[in-house]
Amino acid sequence: MPTRQQPPAGAVAAGVPGIDEVEATLVEHYPRLVRLAYLTLPASLGRHRRVLVAHSTVQRALPRAHRSQRTPRLPAQRGTEASAYLWVRTRVLRAALRHELRPRWWPARAGGSAVRWPGLPLVVGLRLFPSAGGAEELALDQALSALAAPARAAFALTVLEGLSDQEVLALLKEAGAADPEEALWSAARLRRAGDGRTESLLRSAEFDPCAVQTRPTDLLRRRQRARSIATGAAFVVIAAAVVTVSDEAARDAGPVTATDAGNVALARALDPELLEHAPRDEWADTSRIDFSVWPARGDRVNDTALLERALRAWARPDTELRVSATADTAKVPPAKPPRLLFAGEWDGAAVVLLHEGERVVRYAEPVSGDGPAALDFARTDNADVTTAAALVVNRTASGARYLLAPWIAETTTRDLLAPDSPARDLEVSADGVTAVVPSPAPGGSCSSWPVLQLRSSERIVENHAFLVTDLGDLAPVHLTHTPPPSSGAPARQPREATGGPALTGWARGACLLATLRGSGVRAVNNWTYAEQELPDKGGRAAWVCTRADTWRGRGRVLVQFQPPAGAVTAPGAVVAEAKDSAACSRFGQHVLAGTHWRSPSGRWFLLAAGSRAVTRISASGAVTAGAAGPTLAVPAPRDAQVKLSGRMRGGEGLSALGG
């Protein structure tokens, strides 16, 4: 809400304020304006470029004026100050909105016109990004990225600037936004989904481009470019030839030094003697339960030669090294000495696990020396007690071996396709390494789906058991379950999938997990969002939304229709799918989907079901029909092309997932 230091909201004042007034306004309200620009700019820019463009957009809001046009600086009246802020805010908003309409390489200016190549701020050799928030901030960021720029602007103006709907509409029109009414409606829908938490989330460090963290750019690529420039300059400046060193010579140069690494910080990061080690029991005395509190374990934690080879491979991978990374995971060298999690031998391989910032890195080399080494990168930012519970040490033809978090007190395995079978004990070494756990079959067959059932130590949480499964990445995936809605009850939250109903629900959807293999998935939730009595005495069906959240914040959604079946493991039919969507998350709590179904009598029906807030479903096209409530069932030809829409309690419309 506006305060004494914040000019009041309202429409844009007529006329252009003096340049001194604009400059004073920019200085006083700079963080506020930059945050507005950052939220309006598209997420496709990437966090680094988005930060720079937000700052540039605000700085370019200062109009050009000849020095002679400046007036003596005098204390401004309150009305003048407010008018200057409103004028600047409109100028910033117009530039941020127009940025989405330009090609990615085209520079933007606050006035909206095409300008010269962007100037300040200019950052070379560093990547900037706001501090990472928690799961709620990631979900909100993903939901915002799915909106159009005017809707993002409307959301920020309503939540952070405290503007009324009429003021937002007027400001969006003044800034040249397309369809301001639609933008305002989309923003209101997202705001309602936030349960009153949106303002605190938007004001968190996740969305503050003025409080940023830094990381280096790709140091190896940067060095290669520098060498290319130095080689060309050698024809003019003979001294440049002295400092031009080939990559092959660098690989044989011996220990990494400050000169070789390019700077002292990198040299320190690659020194095995400086690797960080967490105290063995730190995990039990901190509120942060993630990879940062894992102690170093394994029988080769003091093998300096092995650790140095792992760090050298990380900083300077050769052509024989097999390198892999989950999506959007940087493969650059560490910015500081990483934390050692594990170094030991298993299954004929020497393995090193390292944690640095938002990544876990696994280095593995054959003990026999016969064959190439491997280097794997995985994102692990914002990990918690469940998603930081285990890491893959090694994979063999028979399965995977895991290093467990120090807070895991009990380890068992079970088969998702045998929900009634009891969990089986799993052997764990003194260093926390499990026996080999069979991996789900990578091919088309799906006769079993092994999972780990882990229980946390009572030193951090009581009676907390949870499931994780291997989907091909370094960190196994956390599986959860949301039960069906109850009449009159509030929306339910995901819970651990260890109870009977959760295991029975996962038995019918486990084989869908194969489609998510190797895509950097962090957690998967099965949400039974509706149940429906089928016509012609067809029994009771379930509508299940399976949502996979990745480490990079994006999500993939699969909606299954599960009619009654003779086998507890009979898979449902996938009737809708969406990628990079907030559907079936906290910021996408409303869902609608439909399918064609053949009844036991042989008749075909159009079926549809919505989540608990849906009060009416309508069908148009080849079939025109409607039904009150969250489900619909009408006779329809098998191939009838229809469009489904829903209406919710507040009167808002809802489109079917996937169209």
Q: Give whole-number Cα distances, 649 to 143, 181, 485, 616, 629, in Å.
A: 21, 20, 16, 9, 10
- Give me the pLDDT at residue 102, please: 53
Tokens standing for residue 426: 């799993």
Which domain, by its residues, includes 260? 219-269
- Give me the pLDDT at residue 487, please: 55
| Number of separate domains in the chain | 3
Residue 467 lies in a domain: no
- Residue 286 and residue 373 share a domain: yes
Of residues 25, 33, 36, 23, the one with CA closest to residue 62: 23
> Is the dihedral angle over the CA atoms 68, 70, 74, 78 positive or is it negative?
positive
Last residue of a domain, one of 381, 407, 436: 381
- Residue 261 and residue 316 share a domain: no
- Residue 173 and residue 45 share a domain: yes
- Residue 192 and residue 65 share a domain: yes
Q: Is 86 left (phi over 0), alpha (psi -120 to 50) or beta?
A: alpha
- Give me the pLDDT at residue 570, please: 92
Q: What is the dihedral of CA 46, 52, 58, 63, to 10 degrees?
A: -120
- Residue 202 and residue 110 share a domain: yes
Strand positions, DSSP E, 251-302: none
Q: How far apart are CA 440 and CA 437, in angstroms?
A: 10
- Residue 231 and residue 140 share a domain: no
Tokens standing for residue 542: 């379930």
- Residue 195 and residue 116 share a domain: yes
- Residue 250 and residue 328 share a domain: no
Residue 281 lies in a domain: yes
Last residue of a domain, one of 381, 398, 415: 381
Q: Quick one: 232 exposed, middle or buried, by C-beta within 10 A (0-12, 13-18, 19+)?
A: exposed
- Give me the pLDDT at residue 257, please: 41
- Residue 338 and residue 206 share a domain: no
Residues of the chain with pLDDT under 70: 1-15, 64-82, 100-119, 132-135, 194-196, 215, 217-263, 443-444, 487-491, 659
Residue 526 lies in a domain: no
Residue 155 lies in a domain: yes
Question: Under 8 Å CB-to-CB from 507, ≥6 apart: which residues?
Answer: 416, 417, 418, 419, 568, 569
Indicate the pTM of the whole model.
0.68
Q: How many residues does the chain have?
A: 659
Phi, psi of 644 (to 5 degrees): -100, 145
